[in-house]
C-alpha cells in the first residue's frame, strides 16, 4: 500500500531498478538485489533475513547499496559508496540503476530537492557511469540532471536549437 511522491505504487521503483539491471544483462544476484535494494531501509526486513532467503551475494549487494545514515554529508556517503564498490562492483550498478529511476521520477519532488539531487547526479553518478562505459545511462543522467539543475538554461538552449534547426 505504500506510494511514492509521484503517486505510483512503491513497488514500481524496485521493479524499474531491476528492469534497468536486466537490460544491462546483469546476473541473477544483481537483479534480485535491485528488487530488494531499499528493503532494509524501508521495511522491518533485516539484512540477515535477506541473506538467509537469497544468499550472501544478494545480501552483500543490498548492504552495499543501502544509504548511509540520514543527515550525513553527501561526501561521506559517496566515500562509503566507493568503499562498498571495492567489495563488489555490482553495488555501483544497482546504485546507478536506482539513481536513474529516481531521476526519471524527480518531477514529483519540490524544486529545491530536484536541484540538489540533480547536481549530485551530475557531480557523482553521471561521471561514474562514464568511467564504467555505461554511456546510455550517463547520457540520460546528464540530460535529466541538466533539466532539473538548470531549468531556465535548458529552456533557453532548447529554444536556440529550435531556431537553428528552423534556419537549416
Tell me the per-residue pLDDT of 11-56, one tens digit each, with 9 for 90 and over.
Answer: 999 999 999 999 999 999 999 999 999 999 888 999 999 999 999 9
Query: Which entry of 8, 23, 27, 42 is annotated as an active-site residue?
Result: 42
Per residue in 65-84, pLDDT (tens digit) is 885 444 444 555 667 666 76
Tell me the whole-structure pTM to 2 decimals.
0.85
Q: Is 159 exposed, middle or buried (0-12, 13-18, 19+ CB in 10 A)?
A: exposed
Helix, coil or strand: residue 159: helix
Query: Which entry of 8, 23, 27, 41 is annotated as an active-site residue?
Result: 41
Q: Is 49 a catalytic residue?
A: no
Q: Is 112 a catalytic residue?
A: no
Amino acid at each position: 500500500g505504500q506510494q511514492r511522491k509521484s503517486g505510483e505504487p512503491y513497488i514500481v521503483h524496485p521493479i524499474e531498478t531491476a528492469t534497468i539491471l536486466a537490460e544491462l544483462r546483469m546476473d541473477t544476484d544483481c537483479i534480485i538485489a535491485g528488487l530488494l535494494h531499499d528493503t532494509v531501509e524501508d521495511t522491518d526486513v533485516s539484512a540477515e533475513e535477506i541473506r538467509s532467503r537469497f544468499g550472501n551475494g544478494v545480501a552483500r549487494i543490498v548492504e552495499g547499496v543501502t544509504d548511509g545514515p540520514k543527515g550525513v554529508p553527501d561526501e561521506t556517503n559517496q566515500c562509503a559508496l566507493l568503499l562498498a564498490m571495492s567489495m563488489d562492483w555490482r553495488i555501483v550498478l544497482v546504485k546507478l540503476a536506482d539513481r536513474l529511476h529516481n531521476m526519471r521520477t524527480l518531477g514529483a519532488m519540490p524544486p529545491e530537492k530536484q536541484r540538489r539531487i540533480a547536481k549530485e547526479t551530475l557531480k557523482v553518478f553521471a561521471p561514474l557511469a562514464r568511467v564504467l562505459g555505461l554511456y546510455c545511462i550517463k547520457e540520460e543522467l546528464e540530460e535529466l540532471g541538466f533539466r532539473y539543475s538548470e531549468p531556465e538554461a535548458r529552456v533557453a538552449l532548447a529554444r536556440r536549437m529550435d531556431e537553428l534547426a528552423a534556419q537549416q
